């Protein structure tokens, strides 16, 4: 609970910093600040339609991928590959959905989501295996796997999965029976938002109340002490957290496909997996706080498009602010930031010792 309260206080501070930074950047660009901020608000939180059809829809993959990053980081695993895991999850969901939608009908959706989660777990499993067997730092392997996933999607939508006319670089569209149901008629809000929302308290409870959660926290806090004093299999615990982290990101990709895009194509993700790292860090690796930071970043990205459309402010401005927020979080001396630095330094030292 202390971690959650600290994350909530930090969220208030970071929200204020966000507004201040945006105002400075907008003013420095020669634009009027108040109209731009008004457009940002109206495009993100200013109406029920903006919330349901923009902010919550964008927050859904951020929430799931952010929870995956949170789990990995809590175990001392630097999973930077949520983007690639999300993409291969979407690809697997598309392959399964297109192959089974006429035979399974409405049951296509859960099967496709399971395929997406499995593919994400398998993609993370590659990096976990490389770390365990060959000592390859997961920071390197997951970044490289991100690139492979991007080019894999490009190959699929321009090759074996391209739509029947072979005009557009995308797959065929899913049948309506293979779409996630809408929660609110007339909006884009889909059932995937509830699925993502349900995962957060389950993860919070599991980390705090189960033996597996204790092992994850112990290994993340001090792997040597967990191994020697607690008798914990550190390698197995980290690998399990790593693979489950990938499953959450893969599920996010499957949900994005069946709930939003309804087809596989390049640039399906505008960087959700990378933003998820910011979501997790600003939440101080607390699963419940990740819900709030995911909504914050979902609102920022939704409002950025409205700000660009209505006030002529480049949407990349928000990306600059998001990056600055991470620097503030790391430079602010937050406990999790210190843990991340110490964990990475200790990991490098242990590798050099070998």
Distance (Å) of CA 327 to CA 58, 220, 302, 304: 23, 22, 22, 20
* pLDDT tens digits for range 264-302: 999 899 999 999 998 998 888 999 999 999 999 999 989
Considering Cα of 102, then 107, then 111, then 114, what sign does the dihedral take? positive
Distance (Å) of CA 156 to CA 88, 168, 171, 247: 11, 12, 8, 21
Residue 335 forms part of a structural domain: yes
pLDDT at 183 over 80: yes
pLDDT at 40 over 50: yes
pLDDT at 204 over 50: yes
Residue 13 forms part of a structural domain: no
pLDDT at 339 over 70: no
pLDDT at 313 over 90: no
Residue 311 forms part of a structural domain: yes
* pLDDT tens digits for range 78-132: 999 999 999 999 999 999 999 999 999 889 999 999 999 999 999 999 999 999 9
Strand partners, 190: 182
Q: Are 181 and 261 in contact (CB under 8 A)?
A: no
SS3 75: coil
Residue 14 forms part of a structural domain: no
What's the mean per-residue pLDDT of the chain? 89
Residue 316 forms part of a structural domain: yes
Number of domains in the chain: 1
Q: What is the CATH number of the domain that holds 100?
A: 1.10.3470
pLDDT at 209 over 80: yes
On the CB side of 96, how many CA atoms lie within 13 Å of its CA?
Answer: 23
Q: The domain containing residue 264 runs over which residues? A: 2-7+53-353
pLDDT at 344 over 80: no
């Amino acid at each position: 609970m202390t971690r959650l309260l600290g994350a909530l206080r930090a969220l208030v501070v970071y929200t204020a910093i966000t507004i201040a930074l945006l105002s400075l950047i907008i003013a420095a660009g020669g634009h009027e600040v108040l109209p731009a901020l008004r457009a940002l608000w109206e495009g993100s939180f200013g109406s029920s339609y903006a919330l349901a059809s923009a902010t919550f829809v964008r927050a859904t993959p951020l929430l799931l991928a952010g929870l995956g990053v949170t789990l990995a980081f809590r175990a001392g695993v630097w999973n930077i590959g949520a983007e690639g895991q999300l993409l291969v999850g979407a690809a697997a969901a598309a392959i399964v959905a297109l192959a089974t939608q006429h035979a399974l009908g409405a049951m296509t959706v859960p099967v496709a989501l399971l395929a997406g989660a499995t593919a994400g777990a398998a993609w993370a499993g590659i990096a976990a295996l490389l770390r365990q067997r060959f000592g390859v730092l997961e920071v390197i392997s997951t970044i490289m796997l991100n690139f492979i996933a991007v080019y894999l999607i490009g190959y699929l939508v321009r090759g074996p999965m391209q739509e029947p006319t072979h005009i557009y670089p995308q797959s065929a569209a899913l049948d309506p029976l293979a779409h996630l149901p809408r929660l609110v008629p007339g909006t884009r809000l889909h059932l995937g938002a509830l699925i993502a929302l349900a995962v957060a308290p389950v993860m919070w409870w599991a980390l705090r109340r189960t033996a597996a959660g204790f092992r994850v926290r112990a290994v993340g806090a001090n792997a040597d002490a967990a191994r020697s004093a607690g008798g914990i299999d550190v390698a197995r615990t980290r690998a399990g957290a790593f693979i489950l982290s990938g499953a959450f990101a893969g599920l996010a990709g499957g949900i994005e496909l069946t709930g939003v895009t309804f087809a596989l194509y390049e640039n399906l993700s505008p960087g959700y997996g990378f933003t998820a790292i910011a979501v997790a860090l600003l939440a101080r690796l607390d699963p419940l706080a990740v819900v709030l930071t995911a909504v914050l970043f979902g609102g920022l990205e939704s409002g950025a498009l409205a700000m660009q459309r209505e006030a002529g402010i480049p949407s990349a401005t928000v990306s600059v602010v998001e990056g600055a927020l991470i620097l503030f979080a790391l430079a602010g001396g937050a406990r999790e930031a210190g843990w991340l630095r110490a964990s990475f330094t200790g990991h490098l030292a242990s590798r050099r010792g070998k």
